[in-house]
Structure 1
Amino acid sequence: MTLTLTVEPFEARTAFQEERLAVGELLAAGFLHAFPEDPPLRPEQEAVSLTHLNSTERDAQFVIRDGTRVLAWGRLSWDTEQNLHNAHARLTVHPQARGRGLGTQVARELERVARREARTTVTFGTTDRNPDGEAFARHLGAQPALPMRVSRLDMTALDAAQLRAWQTRPDGDEYRLHVWTVVPDEYLERVVDMMMVMNTAPKGDLDMDDWVITPQMVREWEAMIVEAGETRLLMAAEHLPSGRLDGYTEVFWDQHRAPLLYQGATAVRPEARGLGLGKWLKAAMLEHAAQECPGIHWVQTNNANVNAAMLGINVALGFQPWAQFTEWQLRLPELS
């Protein structure tokens, strides 16, 4: 007798803790399959992330269970105020349960929700460390919209002289650096304004409008980072005469996965480029993180293949290609 496995809605915020943990165990197993050499994900941390949404975001999640074990999970999330044509999807099938059509079953439910919410473009990401993901993306009819290089830096190979040189500023320099885990209230509006410079980063073929960031979003992100047990370091360059923040960089670290530091966004205002702010921020952050986040061995970052400026800085620091990440785009024509 063959057991029929069916898709069912999963309400993460009202589910029992052990139900969320079962999804966390699936996510950890999928990560281990793709990245066996990395510090493993913690199922309990992944379970916490299932409930994370900004106040303007909504989501729908689905699972396929075999008893208490979760074999497949999917999530579609969307914003209710911006990019109203877009939604973002995640989908994972247990490595031992692939090839049985479970991913297709979950994908159908995610598409149904996307259509219900009038979302005509769905984005999702895959890594070449898991070739099944790219094959599945093409099976769905998605198109690669933003190829990205994933790079890693060996902290033991850093050039100390280069870091010092990049942090040497001219006499009478009008800039100073700040570093925060939580943005002070007096800088919050300026940080929000600075973060929106990321809208100038290459989008490839993604059908996506510029995002408007609000102070409430930043505070909600900070709260979610704390709840997940992570540390986020944000470093900003302030133009002293105006008080404007002209550049920033951020990194993320989990003490339970100490050898790996994730480099997040780095941005410099277009009008302040060419002043060495990007190199200064990157070099200063690496030195600061080495002190604040003990045990770091690798720094990982993603850069769009077409982002020559940031790739150039990272290559000069010693970042080496490690994987390829692709942001895919699936267009859903309106049903007649």
Structure 2
Amino acid sequence: MMTIPDAAGLRVTPFEPRSAPPEQRLAVGRLLRDAAAFASPEDPPLVPEKEALGLTQLGPDEHTEHAVVWSGDEALGYARLGCDLKQNTHMAHVRVIVHPDARRQGLGTRLWAALRDVAMREGRRVVIAGTTSRSPAGEAFARHLGAEEALANRQSQLDLNALDDDLLARWQTRPDGDPYRLHVWRTIPDGYLARMADMMMVMNTAPRGDLDMEDWTITPEMIRAWDKMIDAQGEVRFLMATEDTRSGQLDAYTEVFWLPERAALVYQGATGVRPSARGLGLGKWVKAAMLEHVRAQCPGARFVRTSNANVNEAMLGINVALGFEPWARFTEWQLKLS
């Protein structure tokens, strides 16, 4: 239990992770660990050193602003505003975290107010944030701010020990003369980089609900920047893609992320199938192949966790058939600034 001073005497201060002393970054990393453990105590704990490093990482054309509430050397609250400088320039993403022992004292409201002012100065008229039912305080806070639910998602979890091997085998059986070839990469080869960027943009067809968001353009430069950030974190990313050997076009892909220090938990990233190639079993193929790959290549892995929009019936159907069960509700909120 952390000793919390009178919140009235605490100030929100700007924070620049890249120039901040390492001990301050680590203090924010400990805050993120404690907040995550409070919401999901059964999960492997976050690694504060990894979280501290993540604070310093920026994607191409990304701009961030940070704020912290300090109590001596400890971070009681942290907020981050992220903006893209070239795409969707009307919007920003925000994250507000308050230590579980320091909640209900107005720190979150003060952190939000500081970043709201930044967003408005930069001309951002929409702010998007996410909350999980594992931490009901976040949902209550979003409503308190006047945010509206824009997209409801189901977070699901799969026990790798409960996989149906016969189902995996059936989903990976391809017809005679099948023109598709399956690739598995940790780093996308240069020769496939432009094709993979084009493939990733299929995620623009995923449900957005009421989110005021335009299509995103993915570039090879972005992918390489993401690769560097993944490597810096010591994270393992496996990506599988199907290539139509007649044209060289990539028509489906899936990716997972795994951190050896939190070995039991694997995060399922995006899975997408090009609209023109749907109905050919490619989504089932890459999902089944990836789960077998995870069992072989991620020692100690026990669970795979994923998130899908509630209205994404096709992907939810695949996940349910594989054995994914409901784990939490994840809500994307939208707040329009005036």
Paired position in structure 1 for 2:174: 169
Paired position in structure 1 for 2:292: 287
Secondary structure of the corresponding residue to residue 198 of structure 1: helix
Structure 1 runs of 4+ off > 4 angstroms?
A: none
Secondary structure of the corresponding residue to residue 211 of structure 1: coil
Q: Report Cα offsets for 1:54-82 as digits up to 9, x if no partner.
A: 12010100000000000000000100000
Q: Report Cα offsets for 1:179-220 as digits up to 9, x if no partner.
A: 111110000000000000000000011000000011110000
Q: Report Cα offsets for 1:32-69 as digits up to 9, x if no partner.
A: 00000000000000001101111201010000000000
Paired position in structure 1 for 2:227: 222
Matches within 5 A, 1:271-282: 271-282=276-287
CA positional deviation for 1:256: 0.6
* CA–CA distance in structure 1, aligned partners of residues 59 and 258 of structure 2: 21
- Letter of the structure 2 residue corresponding to residue 116 of structure 1: R
1:269 pairs with 2:274: yes
- Letter of the structure 2 residue corresponding to residue 108 of structure 1: A
CA positional deviation for 1:289: 1.2
1:297 pairs with 2:302: yes
Identical columns (%): 61
Matches within 5 A, 1:1-150: 2=6, 4-150=9-155
Secondary structure of the corresponding residue to residue 139 of structure 1: helix
1:197 pairs with 2:202: yes
Secondary structure of the corresponding residue to residue 119 of structure 1: coil
Deviates more, 1:248-257 or 1:288-297: 288-297
Secondary structure of the corresponding residue to residue 53 of structure 2: helix
Q: Report Cα offsets for 1:96-153 as digits up to 9, x if no partner.
A: 0001100000000110010011000000100000000000000000001011000001
Paired position in structure 2 for 1:317: 322
The one of 238, 259, 263 equivalent to 1:233 is 238
Q: Report Cα offsets for 1:277-321 as digits up to 9, x if no partner.
A: 000000000001111111111110000000000000000000000
1:254 pairs with 2:242: no
* CA–CA distance in structure 1, aligned partners of residues 223 and 282 of structure 2: 23
**Unaligned runs of at least 5 residues, structure 1:** none
Secondary structure of the corresponding residue to residue 28 of structure 1: helix
* CA–CA distance in structure 1, aligned partners of residues 115 and 98 of structure 2: 14
Secondary structure of the corresponding residue to residue 9 of structure 2: coil
* CA–CA distance in structure 2, aligned partners of residues 154 and 60 of structure 1: 38
- Letter of the structure 1 residue corresponding to residue 311 of structure 2: V
Q: Scaled by the length of structure 1, what TM-score is found?
A: 0.98
CA positional deviation for 1:328: 0.5
